[in-house]
Amino acid sequence: MTKLTYFPGCSAHGTSEEFDSTLKLVMKSLDVEMEELPDWNCCGATSAHVMTENLALALPLRNLVLAEKLSNKTMGIACASCYSRMKSTKVEMDNHPELAKRINSTIIEEGEYQGSVDVKSMLQFFYEDFGTEAIAEKVTYPLQGLKIACYYGCLLTRPKAITQFDSPEYPMSMDNIVESLGATATPFDFKTECCGASFSISDTEIVLSLSGTILEMAKESGAHLIAVACPLCQSNLDMRQPDIEKKNGTKYDMPVMYITQLMALAFGYPVQDLKPSKHIVPIEQALSHIGEEIETPEVKKKPKKAVQAESEVE
Partner 1 sequence: MARVGVFVCFCGANIADFVDVPAVVEEAKKIKEVKYAIDYKYMCSDPGQGMIRDAIVAHRLTSIVVAACSPRMHEKTFRKALSDAGMNPYLLEVANIREHSSWVHQKDKKAATEKSSDLIRMAVAKSMANEQLHEISVPVTKRALVIGGGIAGIQAALDIADARIPVVLVEKSPSIGGKMAQLDETFPTLDCSQCILTPKMVDVASHPYIELLPYSEVLELDGYVGNYKVKIKRKASYVNFDTCTGCGACWQKCPVKVPNEFNMGIDKRKAIYSPFPQAVPNKPVIDAEHCTMLIKGKCGICAKVCEKGSIDYTMQDEIIEREIGAVVVATGYDLWDPKPYEEYGVGRYKDIITSLEFERMVSASGPTGGVPVRPSDGKIPKSVVFIKCVGSRDEAKGIEYCSKICCMYTAKHAMLLHHKVHDSHAYIFYMDIRAAGKGYEEFVKRAQVETAATYLRGRVSKIYKKGDKLMVRGEDAQIGQVVEVEADLVVLATAVYPYKDNSDLARLLGISYDKYGFLSEAHPKLRPVETAKAGIFLAGCTQAPKDIPETVAQASATAAKVCGLFAGDTMLKDPMVSTVNTDYCTGCQNCVTVCPYQAIITEEIPLGHGSKEIRTVAKINEGVCQGCGSCVAICRSMAIDLAGFTDMQIINEIVSI
Partner 2 sequence: MIALGQQIENKFLVAVNKKSSNNILDCYQCGKCVSTCPVSSFMDFSPREIMQMIKLGLKEETYMANSMWFCLTCAACSGRCPREIDIPRVMESIRHLAIAENINPDDPRVKNIRKFHEIFLDMIKRYGRNYELRMMAEFNIRTRNLFKDIHLAPKALLKGKIPIGNEKVKSAKAIKRMFEIAEKLEKTQ
Return the number of the residue (201 or 306) whose C-beta is nearest partner 2. 201
Are 143 and 22 in contact, with CB atoms under 8 Å apart?
no
How many whole angstroms separate alpha carbon 51 and alpha carbon 255?
34
Which one, 109 or 314, has the nearer CB to partner 2? 109
Q: Which of residues 233-252 bind partner 2 (CB under 8 A)?
A: 235, 239
Under the rule (CB under 8 A), what is the footprint of partner 1? 167-170, 187, 189-190, 217, 220, 307, 310-314
| Phi, psi values for residue 5, rounded to 5° | -75, 135
- 88 or 184: CB nearest partner 2: 88
46 lies in the binding site for partner 2 (CB under 8 A): yes
Cβ 273 to partner 2, closest distance in Å?
A: 15
**CA 281/CA 278 separation, integer angstroms:** 9
Q: How far is the CB of 96 from partner 2 (least distance, A)?
A: 10
User: What's the closest the beta carbon of residue 309 comes to partner 2, in angstroms?
Assistant: 33
SS3 (DSSP) at 139? coil
**Residue 202 binds partner 2, judged by CB under 8 A:** yes
Q: How far is the CB of 223 from partner 1 (least distance, A)?
A: 14
The DSSP H or E segment spanning 185 is strand 184-185
Out of partner 2, partner 1, none, which partner does residue 210 contact, by CB within 5 to 8 A per kind?
A: partner 2
Beta bridge partners of 68: none
74-77, strands of its sheet edge to edge: 32-36, 2-7, 74-77, 118-121
Question: Cα separation of 308 and 306, whole Å?
Answer: 6
Q: Looking at residues 271 to 290 of the shown chain, list those that interact with partner 2 (rule: CB under 8 A).
A: 277-280
CB 156 within 8 A of CB 165: yes
CB nearer partner 2, residue 161 or residue 306: 161
Q: Which does 314 bind (CB under 5 to 8 A by kind): partner 2, partner 1, none?
A: partner 1
Tell me the per-residue interface mask from 98 to 127 with partner 2, x by CB under 8 A, - otherwise.
----x--xxx-xx-----------------
Residue 151 contacts residue 228 (beta carbons within 8 Å): yes
**Does an H or E element contain 7, and which?**
strand 2-7
